[in-house]
Amino acid sequence: MGIVNIEDELHEQLRRAAKASYRSINAQAAFWIRIGILCEMHPGVTFQELVARELRAAGVDASVPADAAA
């Protein structure tokens, strides 16, 4: 594990996002980094598509329930 220096304002946004997402600050930073890498590697894919792809790869059923599709 290493240390990454970021601007104070970005750290504050990271802290707020972590709280809202029920993640630790480190887990939120890792999530943003992973999503950023995926976005750069797949520029034509939406955020929702990337998340669904990652959930499927992890074995999570990412389909929308029939009653929620309305």
Domain borders along the chain are: 8-61
Higher pLDDT, 47 or 66: 47
Reported confidence tier of residue 17, pLDDT bands at 50, 70, 90: very high
What is the C-alpha separation between 30 and 36, in angstroms, rounded? 10
- Pick the more confident residue, 49 or 63: 49
* pLDDT on residue 68: 66
Question: What type of residue is 1?
Answer: M
| pLDDT reading at 69 higher than 80 | no
Buried b (16+ CB within 10 A) or exposed e, 38-55: beeeeeeeeeeebebeee
Rounded Cα distance, 28 and 42, in Å: 21
CA neighbor of 10 nearest in space, from 23, 22, 24, 28: 28
pLDDT digits (tens, 9 = 90+) for 22-57: 999 999 999 999 999 999 999 999 999 998 899 889
